[in-house]
């Protein structure tokens, strides 16, 4: 019994000193990128209403339509807000029951007033050039490709 207790004591002493780092420090580098989380409050100055989407004092800009309950919009949120802060020509329209949702992206081409705009759902992105709708895009892939 004394022998086993003595061996157990010696084993724990060697274990404690065996794990010593001998004063060396190791630098751990991580290759993970932490994506910054944005919120729509950061782009409040770019917020429009459906009725005012053509009232922007610019010849070439984008209007982004989103819903706070849309999973695709949530997935695209950080990307679109970051682009808006960089380019300063992307405006935001929060979805409402007044939005006109259709299934033909060409019906809004060359539209010059909000009553003639039909989005394809959320998220959608319109390009307005010369106060006319030139592009009507929907979905994450199309929007990212346009703003890359």
Per-residue confidence in pLDDT tens, the chain, 148 aa: 565 565 555 555 555 454 445 555 555 555 555 557 999 999 999 999 999 999 999 999 999 999 999 999 999 999 999 999 999 999 999 999 989 999 998 999 999 999 999 999 999 999 999 999 999 999 999 999 999 9
The C-alpha atoms of residue 10 and residue 49 are separated, in whole angstroms, by 77
Domains in the chain, number? 1
CATH of the domain at 63: 3.40.30.10
- pTM surpassing 0.85? no
Domain presence at residue 69? yes
Cβ count near 103 (within 10 Å):
9
**Residue in the block written with tokens 């782009």:** 43
Q: b/e string for 48-58 if b means 16 or more Cβ within 10 A?
A: bebeebbebee
Q: What's the domain range around 85?
A: 46-147
Sign of CA dihedral 61, 91, 117, 58: negative
């Amino acid at each position: 019994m004394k022998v086993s207790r003595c061996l157990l004591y010696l084993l724990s002493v060697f274990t404690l000193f065996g794990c010593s780092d001998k004063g060396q420090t190791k630098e751990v580098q991580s290759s993970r990128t932490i994506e910054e989380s944005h919120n729509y409050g950061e782009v409040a100055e770019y917020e429009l209403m459906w009725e005012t989407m053509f009232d922007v004092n610019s010849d070439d800009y984008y209007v982004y339509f989103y819903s706070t309950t849309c999973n695709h919009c949530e997935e695209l949120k950080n990307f679109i807000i970051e682009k808006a802060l960089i380019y300063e020509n992307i405006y935001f329209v929060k979805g409402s029951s007044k939005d006109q949702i259709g299934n033909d992206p060409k019906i809004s081409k060359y539209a010059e007033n909000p009553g003639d705009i039909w989005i394809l759902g959320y998220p959608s992105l319109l390009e307005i050039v010369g106060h006319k709708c030139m592009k009507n895009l929907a979905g994450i892939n199309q929007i990212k490709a346009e703003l890359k």
